[in-house]
Amino acid sequence: MIDNVPFPHLIKDDVLPPGLFSRFAENWPSDAFFSLDYPTADIWGLEFTHERHKHDDAAIAFWTEMETALLVVAEEVSQAFGPLIRARFGFDDVHPKILHSGLLQHGPGFARHGTHTHYYLNPEYVATCLIYVDDAGNSARGTALCADTLAQSTDELAASASRFGAADWDELRRIQPTKIAPFQPNQMLAFYEAPHSWHGVEPYAGEAPVGSRRLLRMGIGVSDDELLRRYGMTSEEFRTSYAGGSDNPEHIARFADDIRRMEAALNSINQAPAESTIPQ
C-alpha cells in the first residue's frame, strides 16, 4: 500500500526471506571493506559492483542469493510505483532496473544525516529502497520523511525543491519531518523519487546507541536513453544544471511538471474503481 504523505512511499515488513535475512549478521563484511561516503556524518559504504564483499566461497554463496532476492524486491517496487513512473516519463515502455546497490554502515560518530533528496543528483532514479538490518537493537534512528511546511502550491513546492543545494536553501526552516519510518530489522522503506522526496535521519534524542546502524540501500532507475527521451538531457547534464540549487524559471517549471504528473497519476489511482471480489 502506497502512502502519499509527504511523498509516495511504502513500508514493508519481512521484505527478505527470513532464512536469508537471519544470515545477514554473519555475512556482513568487516570494516576494512567499507569506504567513507559521508565524512561529516561518519557514514561508510560498500557498493556491490566492487564485489569486495565476495571474499570467500561462503560469502559468494550468500551474496549471490541476496542479489537474486533483491531482483524480486526491485520488481515489486517498480510495479507498485509503475503508474507514477510512466506518468513522469510520458511513455509506457520505460524499464526500471537496479542501478546501484550496496551496504551502509554508520560509525560511532554518526549523529544525523541531513535532509536531502536524490532527484537533482540522481535524476535517473525512480525509487530508492532502504532495507534495515540492525541498529544495535535500537529502533529510534529511523528515516525521517520531510515536507515543505510553507509551500501553498505546486509551483512553490517546485521552486523550493529546485533551490536545494543553495547556501541559503532552507534559511526559513521550511523543510520539517512529518513522519519517521522506524528502524526495524528486515523492514523496507521504499520511496518514489519526486523532486520533493526530502528525507534524512534526525539528531538522536538521548544517549546514542552503542554499535553500528546498518542497512542495505538500492537505487532503481532508468537508462540515460530514457532520461534523454524525457528531458532532452543526460543524467550528467541534468545534475550539472542544478548544482548548488537553481532559481532558473525553466528549471522550476521542469520540477513543477514532474510533480503535476505524479499528482495526476495518484489521482487516477485513487479514483480507479475497486476490483470486484464477487464471482461472475
User: Do 199 and 146 meet the contact criterion of CB atoms below 8 Å apart?
Assistant: yes
What interhelical angle do 57-80 and 82-89 show, nearest 10?
Answer: 70
Q: Can you say whether the dihedral through the CA atoms of 66, 71, 75, 80 is positive or negative? A: positive
User: Do 194 and 132 meet the contact criterion of CB atoms below 8 Å apart?
Assistant: no
What is the pLDDT at residue 274?
A: 42
9 grid coordinates? 512511499
Single-letter amino acid, residue 3: D
Radius of gyration over alpha carbons of the chain, in Å?
Answer: 19
**Please, is 169 exposed, middle or buried when counting C-beta atoms within 10 Å of its C-beta (0-12, 13-18, 19+)?**
middle
Q: pTM for this one?
A: 0.91
Nearest one of 92, 91, 94 to 124, comparing CA atoms: 94
Highest mean pLDDT among 63-67, 74-78, 135-139, 168-172: 74-78
pLDDT in tens, 25-80: 889 998 888 999 888 788 899 988 767 677 788 888 999 999 999 999 999 999 99
Mean pLDDT value across the chain: 88
Q: What is the dihedral angle through the alpha carbons of 240, 245, 249, 250, rounded to the nearest 10 degrees?
A: 20
